[in-house]
Amino acid sequence: MKTKINLLFIVVMMFLFCARADEGMWLPYSINGQNLADMQRLGCKLTAEQIFSFNQPSLKDAIVQFGGGCTGELISAEGLLLTNHHCGLGQVQAHSSVEHDYLQEGFWARSKDQELPNEGLTVSFLTYIEDVTKAILDGVTDNMSEDERDAKIEENGKKLINERKGKREVEVEIVPFYHGNQYILFVYDVYKDVRLVACPPWGIGKFGADTDNWTWPRHKGDFCIFRVYTAPDGSPAEYSKDNVPMKSKHFLPISLKGIEPGDYTMILGYPGSTDRYSYSGSVRNVIEQEGPAIVACRTTKLEQYRKHMDADPAVFIQYASKQASVSNYWKYYIGQVKQLQRNKVLEKRLEQEQTFRQWAAQDKDRKAKYDGIFEEMDKYWEHQSQFTKALIYYREAGWRGGEAVAFALKFRALNYALENKVPQEKINAYAQKLKAAAQDFFKDYNKELDRDVTIALLNLFYKDIDRNMQCGILRKGDKTGGDFTAFVNNAFEKSIFVDANKLNAWLDHPKSLSKDPIFDLMSNIVETYITLSDIADKVSCSRADRLYMEGLMEMQNDRNFYPDANFTMRLTYGSVQDCQPTDGVEYSYITTLDGVMEKYVPGNWEFDVPQDLIKLWEKKDYGRYADKNGNLVVNFITTNDITGGNSGSPVIDAEGNLIGLAFDGNWEAMSGDISFENKVQRTICMDARYLLFIIDKMANAQNLMQELKIVE
């Protein structure tokens, strides 16, 4: 009987260990013994050197920062690169037209000469890391003011970057960790010739759109394929017909073995930003100020987008990527505020801070060191709360609201040059650059949509923001009851920024823009924003933040601390698991193509499905991509810890093979960027078998299939 009880206890404990999400975004170059032991206990069969090495090809050599905001991975010896559909959507949209609607129909290059270049798109490979804390803090003393400290750190950083970079064509950056208690230097090779190879139709890559975003279960084939090109000698180079496909230092084989609950999963990528060690005042600010303000502005903007996009297919193509960008974090903030409250994150922070106070008070030296930090942080957040909402409105509804207003911001430097009699050659250089920017802007610009967006946002701005924080032009709403329709109509009638012909004529003979109504609106908004920002920045708590972080690590010295995400390469590990997010609700760890067809709504922009996919489903023609039950798995969930920036990250199995593509998190854990929720947090992934099924069976892209290394 005792043996049975012990066995049951072990089984239960194993289940609890597996069912919990696995917190931590670890720097892969410094995986310590505890991390490696945990990874091996979960099933990892790779050594630390196979994961991250500067001495031999390793997994890290297949991982790229894609376009500055996503992750990608190499999947062939010739630089074939995989990322999410929503990461490549801007490039697909830029190549699309009503005649060649790659958004709706998809795009498949049948040979390398059909691959499409993308101006401005880059991918970065990490080549070197160094802890430079000692060098960065050289000469920094405790009796310095924060301004003096920052200036010394900046001086040391610039010197160090110049030394490390020399004459090499590399990107070098120094990034603070643990709220400024550590500094690490990163060196990247940046490749500038990245060509579009393949993209599935909208009904696969964007299936579920806004309705399904940030939720599980999902049914989306969220992938795009690009290729990295180099100069003939293998070095990074601007686009040229003479460039050749990259010779990959390492690439990921793709596994067809399938997944089961408990299978080990590892994700490498570039998560953007978390704030998991922040003070309670920061959490309260998100709940009460930041989140609601962003949601209000973006709701207003999206209403106008959808009205025009639904009415005109050409506008839909122009604004598909823009709408997706606005919508993504609109829904994110709705979920984040809701889950911060539901998961009682503010209360948890306050409890942690009380524990810290008691700990600090128990020792004379600690009490002296940390005395006053909470008062300093309270003072900062009390001050910030007066400005947060207004500053967000100035950004979201102001200089990043209407497109013409945002575009006019690019002309500030040229206008300054014109009004300050800068030499004509500099003015000509400014104008030449802006001609290219204008061409890009008007390609995907709809004047009527932008007019309605600008009116709606200015009306909201006037209604929601206290008059003492409104810029001069907003106060004109006093005479119209807050209705800016007439003002915007007049501005759009007279401004050069909504008419390509007027703007190009002006660029041929530029003169002061002081009388242009949209430039004037932009200037008024930006100048007021800067003024308010300067006032808000007069109070700082960076010293207190730094000391609090240092104190937390001292107080919990038995805890293995990982740094907050900051767009540097991280490794997370976990396992495939189902989820029970709320009482009485249990979610399976997979979804299948049957679920896609259950959601299918013909003609609906979110839930329509390509006819080719329907035919394959009707025949159950899944080939070798079916699971053991004959189903085609579309998506699955894991316990890995990710955030924005991890979009496109590879999900890697115990042997180092690609088994999926991370693309989202779940609704119940949307407080996760601030507080990791280990009972419910899940990463949503596209199954590699669905990827191969779409490439092989639906697109019949055999040229791509022949490049891939597939593990049966």
Q: CB-hemisphere CA count at 13 Å for 358?
A: 6
Q: Looking at 255, 282, 647, 671, which residue is catalytic?
A: 647
Element (H, E) at 660: strand 658-665
Q: Which of 58, 85, 86, 495 is catalytic?
A: 86
**Angstrom distance (rounded) from CA 207 to CA 213:** 10
Distance set, CA 699 to CA 613, 660, 693 (Å): 10, 19, 9
User: In this structure, are residues 511 and 505 in contact, taking their beta carbons and an 8 Å threshold?
Assistant: no
Q: How many CB atoms sit inside 10 A of residue 432's CB?
A: 10
What are the backbone angles phi and psi of residue 81, rounded to the nearest 5°? -125, 135
Separation CA 133–CA 611 (nearest Å)? 57
Catalytic residue among 222, 263, 641, 653: 222
Q: Which of 651, 677, 648, 681 is nearest to 81 (CA)?
A: 648
- 461-464, long-range: CB < 8 A, 24+ apart: 461/393, 461/397, 461/398, 461/401, 464/296, 464/389, 464/393
**Whether residue 647 lies in the annotated active site:** yes
Residue 520's CB is within 10 A of a number of other CB atoms, namely 17
The 3 state secondary structure assigned to 295-340 is: HHHHHHHHHHHHHHHHHCHHHHHHHHHHHHHHHHHHHHHHHHHHHH
> Within 13 Å, how many C-alpha atoms sit on residue 428's CB side?
3
Q: How far apart are CA 492 and CA 517, in angstroms?
A: 8
Prior bond to 201 cis, omega within 30?
Answer: no
Tell me, yes or no, if 222 is annotated catalytic.
Answer: yes
Q: Is 86 annotated in the active site?
A: yes
Distance of CA 701 to the CA centre of its chain: 29
Contact 263, 640 (CB under 8 A): no
Q: Which amino acid is at 218?
A: R
CA–CA dist 590, 201 (Å, integer): 22
* CA–CA separation, 341 and 57 (whole Å): 45
With a CB cutoff of 8 Å and minimum separation 6, the contacts of 442 are 500, 503
- CA 56 – CA 49 distance, rounded (Å): 8
> What crossing angle do the helices spanning 542-555 and 373-384 adopt, rounded to 10°?
130
Burial group, residue 144, by CB count within 10 angstroms (0-12, 13-18, 19+): middle
Active site residues: 86, 222, 647
